[in-house]
Each structure stands twice: as structure tokens, then as C-alpha cells.
């Protein structure tokens, strides 16, 4: 039996292409319009609605919930006050990343955690004698991401508290008489929110929201547009930009938080008293400088790119479709120094961009490298430079 979202009756009616993918075992629209770029520009210029319901969801409660999570998650959950959320990750005891997700702290002893893959058994096995309960609530909620510059004003018309919540803050209210929780989070790198709705009331809330958004340029958007948005935002995708340490065949398939550019999650580690899973390995990595890679953005030299195709008698392609494959990166001596995992032509930046791993010494923004491309069935090497992520970072995202 194919699983569907609580909003499926509405999203399927809007899906003009009939194109679907499986995401976490659930049907998710690839794109609704004939052009995924049309949906992408709706998010960047007005607002778009994305059905995030397929994410796995876990409720963690109990008097020891915060203490338990502080020993499991790499980022210190104790710094997240009730009414706020955190982007976080969890590691194995060798310091390799298992997965990442967003955690909402609803109250002092109540949390909601999202994940792309099943994690319930892994968390349950770690409870021991702590007074904490974990339950999967994946089917209990539908989640709608409303992303783009108009998202705040549109949602504030329905839930006035949205107008004042900070980046990664939470608000509660009602839509169509249904209690909802709204977090200022998303996967677009833009101003945006995610609306948590009880599954039994999902269609009623959708109808109220969709009716309220009419006339403001809002479109539903699918995975194809989401992948474009997240590359510009420097947001990593599991099984593309990194692999869960549980499923890596070798350590070459595994990554540490430092290698993935998440050092900021570990700020103040020296003053942090937590014995979280993977801490000792991460401390050794930092002290001994053993990181193999640093994740960085990459911006291709458009002039060199165009020249390369001109010499081959070709029109330089400017395809916005994300490519989730490895492209190797070299230094001027022809030595491989890294690899790109996500490549696209950014409609907003008017450049080819990528998420890339390079040797730590080359991660300084502006470092010049060469990107290997297949042109006329032979390898060509096009100039590029490393860049800080996010590559697209509008002020409204956090303002």
C-alpha cells in the first residue's frame, strides 16, 4: 500500500503533471506545474507551499527529556528555550553523523524531532533508566512549509503571533478552529514557516490557508523546486551530500559534523559539560586536525565555462535542474582536492553553483580550483572558486 500525506486529496488535485516520488515511504509531488522553475520563482518572489508531512516525527517527553537529548544530540539542546527550535544532528561513538533534523521545544519537558529516516529504535535503545518516553507521531501530524517573502504576512493574517516570532521561534494559534503550531523554519533558505496540523483536521486547515492565500501569487511546489532552493541555501541532503554512518560501506562514505561545515553546532565545546555520543572523537578531530574535508560552496567562473563550450562548438548550457552526482575538483597541478555533490545553474545568482567538499586548507572563501566537466565526451577543467554557504542568503530570512 502506498502511503499518502494527510493533505494528499488537495495536493493530488493540484498536481497537473501527475509526477510523484517516494519520500520516506510516502508519495510526494515532484512538481505541480509543467515548469519547476515557475514554482521556484514563486518561493523567491512571493510564497510557495510545500507538503513536509512525510518526515518522520518523534515526541520526546518526561522529566529527564532535556538531559537525555543533551547526551544524544551533538548540539546542546539546553540552550534552546521552550518556544524555540534548533537544527541539530546526532552521531555515532566515532563522531560520524547518523542524521540531522529539526527539534521543536514545545515546553520544558516536551520536544518534537523530525528526521528523514526511521530513528525510533536507535533513540529508544539509549534511554536506559532515564525518565523519558519517545513515541513516533509521524501519522499524527501534517506539516505545511510556507516559504518566501510573503509568508510572514500571509500567515500572520491567520495566526497574528507569527508576525513577531524570531528565526527558529515557535508560535501557537488556531486555523479554521484547529490548534496549530508554527515554527519559523524551512528548507528553502528564505523567510519561511512550517505549520504543524493534527492529521485529522489537515484538509480543513489546508482549505482555510489556501483560500486565504488566493490572489497573492502563492503556488504549491514540489521536490524539484525544493532541491533548487536548498542548494542555493547550502542545506545538505541525506544520501546526496552525506550518508548516514549507519549505512556507509566504508569510512569514505561517512562524515563528521566538522567535515560537513557544522562546527558552529559545537561552539563553546570546551565549556560544555555534556558527554554526548561522539564527543571524544570530535574533540580528537579538532585537536589533531584530522578532518579530511570541509564542505563549502563553489561558484563556477562563468566566463571560463562559456569559453570551454564555445571552443567545443556548443551553446553553453544553463540548466537549472539540480544534479545530485559527484563532480571532481582539482588544483592547478591537476591533483584531485575534492568533489562536488550537488550542482546546478542558479536562476537567482545567474551562476553555476555547487555544494563541494575540499581539503581543509582550500576551504577559505575565494580559493581557486578547477571543476571537471564532461564536454563533447571528454573531460574539461573549468575555473571555480570556493564560497561561503549559504550561496543565496536574503536578509529577510532572519530579519
Tell whether omega for the bond before 390 is within 30 degrees of 0, i.e. cis: yes
Closest CA relative to residue 259, chosen from 142, 379, 156, 356: 356
Residue 195 Cα to chain centre, angstroms: 16
Q: Comparing 56-136+256-292 with 294-396, is the CATH topology the same?
A: no
Task: Note the pLDDT tens digit of each residue in 323-334.
Answer: 999 999 999 999
CATH of domain 56-136+256-292: 3.30.70.1400
CA torsion through residues 88, 241, 151, 141, sign? negative
Residues 6+ apart with CB under 8 A from 216: 46, 47, 150, 154
* CATH 3.40.630.30 assigned to 8-53+139-221: no
Instruction: At 201, list the grid cell.
Output: 483536521
C-alpha distance from residue 64 to each of 54, 123, 225 (Å): 28, 14, 40
Task: Note the pLDDT tens digit of each residue in 247-297.
Answer: 999 999 999 999 999 999 999 898 999 999 999 999 999 999 999 999 999
User: Which band of pLDDT confidence, cut at 50, 70 and 90, is reported for residue 2?
Assistant: confident
The domain locations on the chain are 8-53+139-221, 56-136+256-292, 294-396
- Contact between 61 and 55 under an 8 Å Cβ cutoff? The reply is no
- Based on C-alpha coordinates, what's the Rg of the chain? 22
Residues 6+ apart with CB under 8 A from 349: 232, 299, 391, 392
Task: Note the pLDDT tens digit of each residue in 341-381.
Answer: 999 999 999 999 999 999 999 999 999 999 999 999 999 99
Q: How many residues does the chain have?
A: 399
Fold of 294-396: Elongation Factor Tu (Ef-tu); domain 3 (2.40.30)
User: Which band of pLDDT confidence, cut at 50, 70 and 90, is reported for residue 226?
Assistant: very high
Instruction: At 224, list the grid cell.
Output: 524539484
Report whether pLDDT(1) > 80.
no
pLDDT at res. 368: 98
Task: Note the pLDDT tens digit of each residue in 132-151.
Answer: 999 999 999 999 999 999 99
Closest CA relative to residue 345, chosen from 327, 314, 313, 323: 323
Amino acid at each position: 500500500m502506498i502511503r499518502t500525506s494527510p493533505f494528499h486529496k488537495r495536493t493530488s488535485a493540484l498536481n497537473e503533471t501527475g509526477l510523484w516520488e517516494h519520500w520516506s515511504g510516502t508519495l510526494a509531488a515532484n512538481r505541480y506545474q509543467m515548469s519547476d522553475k515557475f514554482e521556484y520563482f514563486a518561493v523567491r518572489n512571493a510564497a510557495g507551499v510545500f507538503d513536509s508531512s512525510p518526515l518522520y516525527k518523534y515526541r520526546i517527553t518526561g522529566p529527564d527529556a532535556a538531559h537525555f537529548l543533551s547526551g544524544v544530540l551533538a548540539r546542546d539542546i539546553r540552550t534552546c528555550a521552550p518556544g524555540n527550535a534548533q537544527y541539530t544532528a546526532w552521531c555515532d561513538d566515532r563522531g560520524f553523523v547518523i542524521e540531522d533534523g529539526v527539534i521543536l521545544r514545545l515546553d520544558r519537558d516536551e520536544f518534537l524531532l523530525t528526521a528523514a529516516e526511521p530513528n525510533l529504535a536507535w533513540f529508544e535503545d539509549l534511554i536506559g533508566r532515564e525518565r523519558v518516553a519517545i513515541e513516533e507521531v509521524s501519522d499524527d501530524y501534517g506539516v505545511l512549509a510556507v516559504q518566501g517573502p510573503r509568508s510572514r504576512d500571509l500567515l500572520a493574517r491567520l495566526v497574528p503571533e507569527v508576525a513577531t516570532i524570531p528565526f527558529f521561534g515557535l508560535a501557537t494559534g488556531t486555523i479554521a478552529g484547529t490548534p496549530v503550531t508554527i515554527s519559523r523554519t524551512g528548507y528553502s533558505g528564505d523567510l519561511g514557516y512550517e505549520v504543524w496540523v493534527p492529521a485529522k483536521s489537515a484538509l480543513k486547515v489546508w482549505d482555510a490557508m489556501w483560500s486565504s492565500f488566493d490572489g497573492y501569487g502563492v503556488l504549491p511546489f514540489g521536490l524539484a523546486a525544493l532541491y533548487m532552493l536548498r542548494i542555493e541555501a547550502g542545506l545538505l541532503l541525506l544520501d546526496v551530500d552525506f550518508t548516514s554512518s549507519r549505512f556507509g560501506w566504508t569510512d569514505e562514505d561517512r562524515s563528521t559534523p566538522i567535515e560537513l561545515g557544522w562546527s558552529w553546532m559545537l561552539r563553546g565545546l570546551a565549556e560544555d559539560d555534556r558527554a554526548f555520543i561522539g564527543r571524544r572523537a570530535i574533540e580528537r578531530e579538532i585537536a589533531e586536525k584530522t578532518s579530511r574535508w570541509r564542505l563549502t560552496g563553489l561558484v563556477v567562473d562563468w566566463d571560463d565555462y562559456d569559453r570551454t563550450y564555445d571552443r567545443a562548438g556548443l551553446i553553453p548550457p544553463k540548466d537549472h535542474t539540480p544534479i545530485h552526482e559527484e563532480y571532481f575538483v582539482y588544483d592547478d597541478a591537476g591533483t584531485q582536492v575534492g568533489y562536488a555533490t550537488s550542482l546546478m545553474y542558479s536562476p537567482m545568482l545567474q551562476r553555476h553553483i555547487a555544494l563541494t567538499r575540499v581539503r581543509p586548507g582550500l576551504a577559505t572563501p575565494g580559493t581557486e580550483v578547477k571543476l571537471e566537466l564532461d564536454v563533447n565526451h571528454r573531460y574539461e577543467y573549468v575555473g571555480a572558486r570556493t564560497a561561503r554557504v549559504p550561496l543565496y542568503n536574503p536578509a529577510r530570512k532572519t530579519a
